[in-house]
Structure 1
Amino acid sequence: MAREKKRRSRGRRSPFAAVALIGAGLLLTGGVYAGASAAMASTTDTQTTAASELTAADGQKLFTANCATCHGLDMQGTPEGPSLIGVGELSVEFQLATGRMPLQMQGPQAPQKTPQFTEPQIRAIASYVQSVTPGPTYPEQWVTDGKTDPEDSSDEVSVSKGAELFRINCAMCHNVAAAGGALTAGKYAPALTSTSALHIYAAMVTGPQNMPVFGDMNLSTQDKRDIIAALVFQQNEVQVGGFTLGSLGPVSEGLFIWIFGIGALVALTVWITAKSN
């Protein structure tokens, strides 16, 4: 009897076919996703470029919608907000970029918070205010992104002189370590430990809130640059270790000694007395 030959079923597939099919599907999906991501990124870049090209006319619209309620359409001020005549774009940029404006609620002082507007919007509003009522503008020797260190300028600055000028003119409010301090009637001088060079300069020139205006008769432009250089140097200084106690000086150090030092002496006295008894 002839032996029947086993034939391979025509419907049977190779075990590698499924793997190849899955791989092809993954490659196709990945290609579609990469193409879509590139298209979205291109659209986002276009929108970002368009947003960065805001003009003073755009700033006028933003001002009317967000600022005119308190400061008035003509910037003359209202019972709810002061006049903006003569404040200039430097002051507007400072108030908006630090989040102090728009004001959330009336109080002794406007606190710093997350900005409500983007940087292009802030520049547009500041440009509009400057076009209507000119005032202090950005310093020429530094770029106006608020990130450039004044030490990057070709002119020399003196950190030691700046530190001395800061102690004489600023430390009575901001603390010798620039950690800030309390003032009267619920007001306070903010810490300068993370403030940008541009905003330090803007505060000295425009005098926001409780800050006095330091004109060139008080501090020359070079003096201001020296003070900023000293503050930036202090911001970038690496701590050598130990307890800084907020860098608030003898007040916090004395409190630490009083609580822990005197407490330790009292505990030791009680222990010795208990042992002797």
Structure 2
Amino acid sequence: MSKATNRKNRAGRRGPLATVALLAIGLFFTGGAYALISNGTAEAQSDINSQEMIDEGEKLFAANCATCHGVNLEGSDIAPTLIGVGAASVDFQVGTGRMPLAASGPQGQEKPEQFTDQQVKAMAAYVASLSVGPPIPDPRYLDEQGDAANGAELFRINCAMCHNVAGSGGALTEGKWAPAINSTPAHTYEAMITGPQNMPVFNDANLSPEDKRDIITALAYIKDTPSVGGYALGALGPVAEGLFAWVFGMGAIVAVTVWLTAKSN
């Protein structure tokens, strides 16, 4: 075999590095195509305004909510109308498990949710399609990156009288209560704009979206920051701390008095 033929054969062979490069390029383009398809599918599924979501929500609403709230959201003797509540109210009430209601009482109790997030969004889409109301909040206000100091001040002014300055909740009248704020940023924002249960509505004229973002940031800071004074006693404030001091402090004094009396006798 001539040298020219050998050189031609070597030139026609594919080196190991070339094979690796081709595989890498193939995987790159395959992964990119899959990511684009996946993102497109996720966006279509999460689009609360899509007809597919509305149709799915109508079926879920008819099966789980229409008995009490009416087929056309008109309400009944045992449940209020949902006309005008918007997607935010449905996302909050159903997403926190308060609805469907487990039992009648002063107010709905938070419990494990019975629907997936996709199903909750679908019901919210259906209710929003029938009447105008507060929408699900924009994600840019839920990033917990606002001004925590301003949020803490706003929370003390507007919320602490019911929810406690640390967001630990508190008792109201007639068996009602302000729950501890352990919700997601979205549910906290939705509670502010819909006023569930006995809570007032804080629309954008009361608290701007940026103010709500600051409050959510302050609550996240409180939640993630340990008590610098040691055990926080549930962060229930001076009443709980005073009760703790009276029960254990006076109990210790009485115990020492009894011990000294018994020893002297």
Range into which the TM-score falls when normalised by the shorter chain: 0.7 to 0.9
Q: Secondary structure at the match of 1:112?
A: coil
In structure 2, give the amino acid aligned to 1:266: V
C-alpha distance in 2 between matches for 1:188 and 1:74? 31
Contact residue 142 and residue 150 of structure 1 kept, 8 A: no
C-alpha distance in 2 between matches for 1:272 and 1:101? 58
Decide which structure has greater helix share.
2
Q: Which has the higher contact order (CA 8 A, sep 6+)?
A: 2
* Alignment equivalent of 2:153, drawn from 164, 171, 175: 164
In structure 1, give the amino acid aligned to 2:183: T
Contact residue 97 and residue 113 of structure 2 kept, 8 A: yes
Contact residue 91 and residue 136 of structure 2 kept, 8 A: no
Q: Secondary structure at the match of 2:183?
A: coil
TM-score, scaled relative to structure 1 = 0.74
C-alpha distance in 2 between matches for 1:89 and 1:167? 28
1:62 maps to 60
Which stretch has the larger CA shift, 65-74 or 220-229? 220-229
Mapped pair 1:91 → 2:89: yes
C-alpha distance in 2 between matches for 1:104 and 1:57? 26
Contact residue 151 and residue 214 of structure 2 kept, 8 A: yes
CA RMSD of aligned residues (A): 2.1
Aligned 1:121-140 pairs, distance under 5 A: 121-140=119-138
User: Per-residue deviation at 1:191?
Assistant: 0.2
Which stretch has the larger CA shift, 265-274 or 166-175? 265-274
2:252 maps to 264
C-alpha distance in 1 between matches for 2:256 and 2:226? 37
User: Per-residue deviation at 1:211?
Assistant: 0.6
C-alpha distance in 1 between matches for 2:45 and 2:139? 23
Aligned 1:214-229 pairs, distance under 5 A: 214-229=202-217
1:30 maps to none
User: Per-residue deviation at 1:241?
Assistant: 6.8
1:211 maps to 199
1:117 maps to 115
Q: Deviations over 1:219-261 (max 9, x none)?
A: 2222211111100111122345732211112111111111111
1:107 maps to 105
Corresponding residue pairs, total:
220
Mapped pair 1:251 → 2:239: yes
